[in-house]
Amino acid sequence: YMGTAVTYGSGRGIVTSTGAHTEIGRIAEKLKSMKEEATPLQKSLAQLGRLLGLLCLVVCAGVFLQGFLTGGDPLALFMTAISLAVAAIPEGLPAVVTIVLALGMRRMAERNAIVKRLPAVETLGGVDVICTDKTGTLTQNEMTVVRLYAEGCDAEVSGSGYALEGEIRDQDGTLIDPEGTLSLRRLLEIGALCNDAQLAAEKDGAPGIIGDPTEAAMLVAAYKGGIRQERIASIRPRVAGLPFDSVRKRMTTFHEGFSDSPVLALVKGAPDLVIGRCISLLTPDGIRPMHPEDRDRLLAANSAMGSEALRVLAFAYRAFEVIPDLNPEKVESDLVFAGLMGMIDPARPEARDAIAICRQAGIRVVMITGDHRETATAIARDLALMPEGSRVLDGSDLDGIAEEELRQLSESVRVYARVSPDHKVRIIEAIRANGHVASMTGDGVNDAMALKRADIGVAMGITGTEVAKGTADMILTDDHFATIVHAVEEGRIIYANIRKFVGFLLSCNIGEILVIFLSVLLLGPRYAPLAPLQLLWLNLLTDSFPALALGREPGEPDNMRRPPRARDARIVDRRMIRTIAFQSVAIFGTVFAAFQIGRLVYPDVLMDGVSAPHDGARTFAFATLLLAELFRAFSSRSENLTVFETGLGGNRSMVQAVALSGVLLLAILYLPFLSPLFSTVPLSLRDWLVIVPLALVPFAAGELQKVLFRKKVRID
């Protein structure tokens, strides 16, 4: 089918249909009618919108009905209802949420994490399990062969990385010449020929590679043994091959030019699988049959290397008269064992620190690798990833475990070894079935399904295939594990900031509702303290600028020392409801007092023979409410810390937003062409001396509430 990813091999295709008639065309048609599942944030905001809309209808209808039954003017009642409707809806909330998420995506991109879907930014903040590959993510992916094991030879290889300097010495330190050891020579030859990598110098002259780091390490080891890839490949050319795949865990190439046979099949792969297919072994004196005790000895040598955190590959070969049918089961059997290579891939220093941060943040890190159990365990212990007594599962264990048992085991297992892509899918499904928000890393074509099943699929930008990148929600441009942790940290900051500005906007809006609703109930429909246009100004401009600034708030010091939020956590929880209620009442009390003081300073006037408040009284209330909301913005910068602990200069955007809103307030009050439009009057210095202290009351109440109800978070 068109769109299918070809992972290896060659062939011919015949076009049978095009466009919408192809399978991918039919899928595209179906996708048009499919709706993407809403994220928890989107669901919370939608629910909040419905609740506010219902509240708006009830309050507006109640005020209108109460006023109408008491003989109020229908036009005045209608204007009051409009005022309440304007006050109830936080008009800037959807735009602020989108802008904050987009800014978060940009910040993540600056830290080498490219997020492809906007809602994924929010999901990252809730991740409590990170499933990660080992090679290249937790380790440096710069393999170095340090051990060579062949019959009659147990050698160590000096040197580091892809530098060609180094020697091969036995356990006594004696220099070894591979030309004098048949089994060692054949081991290095297979490593150089059954290989798709190339050595190439970087622009700065430093050693570099083209291809897989593991294969490049074999070329370097062969070079140290006097075998040059270019020369031996020309003498013994490749004539056919079976590429590596994750099911067989082997690779085979066919070569001519050997003295042993017209065609030699060279095999490399997972030690347990390759050794199990050998019937003979190559010794310094020639080939002899492999006995059960030989097989046990070789597997023990493999385990010993693995326990030293070495990645081990086995090498073997088989002679043919002609190129056989390329059937892996037939070709990769009855092999002659040549030897083992042990490679080290040092752990990334930053990975240790990142795992420690995850532990503090209550995030569980799970290593999922195709390497041997001993190798994976050694690396996990080196990174302090695996607690003492923790169980390790490998692919064979997973094959014998039912789904329910895997769900239970997944809560305690930190390392999965020798896993296939299908195993990855089962693991991520088991973790998610327990209610966790999980991320999964992958780089291969076969990882696509596991990436899709995870809450956050993470693809490697350097080593990852295009299929993996296309499926993932996030791409790491540097392939580092620490980048995932940085992205989760940024996701937490963004979610915390969304809570801050949602709490800020709701406390302001509900405070405005109380100001209008209770004032009308207490004083009558004509005595609404704020005009509709003033409320619209507050909601669209005064509140939106500080809300945007709250979205750019830096993370708090304990951001990565808090436990992850639950999958079903509501953005408006009990704590926020308590804060909103407290602040809304404080805002109402302050603004109502300001309005009453304003009526004393600017006595009521007669309109159409009926008493009504002077514009000066409304200006008193408007200025007090606006300043109270700006002061409230500073208090909203943290749910736990007071302004004295966070300081005023930690967020320049907030200072600029408050300053801009303040300047616009002065423009409305003192510019002659704006003042009539907003029904305001210029205020005197004496007025300001009353307004500013009043506006500080909700701010002071909010700071006192933090001290009294401070929530301490501890993670054992």
Q: Supply the residues annotated as catalytic.
A: 133
Measure the N-to-C terminal CA separation of the chain; round to a whole number of Å: 53
Residue 692 CA to residue 708 CA, distance in Å, equals 25
Q: At what angle do helices 74-88 and 481-523 cross, to 10 degrees?
A: 160
Cα–chain center distance at 546: 27
In terms of DSSP H, where are the helices of 466-480?
466-471
What residues have CB less than 8 Å from 251, skipping those under 6 apart? 194, 241, 242, 243, 244, 267, 268, 269
Cα–chain center distance at 680: 49
Residue 545 CA to residue 543 CA, distance in Å, equals 6
CB count within 10 Å of CB 198 equals 14
Residue 149 CA to residue 224 CA, distance in Å, equals 15
Q: What values do phi and psi take at 682, rounded to 5? A: -65, 135
Residue 343 CA to residue 142 CA, distance in Å, equals 10
What are the beta bridge partners of residue 240?
254
CB count within 10 Å of CB 95 equals 13
3-state secondary structure of 334: coil
Report in angstroms the alpha-carbon separations of 604 from 439, 467, 514: 63, 72, 22
Residue 459 CA to residue 450 CA, distance in Å, equals 11
User: Which one, of 510, 513, 533, lies nearest residue 521 by Cα?
Assistant: 513
Residue 591 CA to residue 682 CA, distance in Å, equals 18
Residue 279 CA to residue 335 CA, distance in Å, equals 6
Tokens of 643: 């302004």
Radius of gyration of the chain (CA): 35
In terms of DSSP H, where are the helices of 524-573?
532-537, 544-551
Q: Look up tokens 């003033």; give the residue.
A: 534
- Beta 168-170 vs 198-201: how paired, if at all? unpaired
User: Which one, of 491, 559, 556, lies nearest residue 715 by Cα?
Assistant: 559
Residue 535 CA to residue 516 CA, distance in Å, equals 10
Residue 715 CA to residue 361 CA, distance in Å, equals 8
Report in angstroms the alpha-carbon separations of 186 from 202, 225, 444, 691: 30, 11, 31, 90
Residue 287 CA to residue 133 CA, distance in Å, equals 38
User: Which one, of 274, 269, 245, lies nearest residue 194 by Cα?
Assistant: 269
In terms of DSSP H, where are the helices of 524-647?
532-537, 544-551, 574-601, 615-635, 643-646
Residue type, 584: S
Tokens of 219: 């070329």
- Would you call 179 exposed, middle or buried from its count of C-beta atoms within 10 A (0-12, 13-18, 19+)? exposed
**What is the phi-psi region of residue 691: left when phi exceeds 0, alpha when psi lies from -120 to 50, beta otherwise?**
alpha
What are the beta bridge partners of residue 612?
605
- The number of C-alpha atoms within 13 Å of 586 and in the hemisphere containing its C-beta is 24
Residue 339 CA to residue 168 CA, distance in Å, equals 15
What residues have CB less than 8 Å from 699, skipping those under 6 apart? 628, 631, 632, 634, 635
Residue 451 CA to residue 222 CA, distance in Å, equals 37
Tokens of 618: 């409304």
Tokens of 633: 């913005």
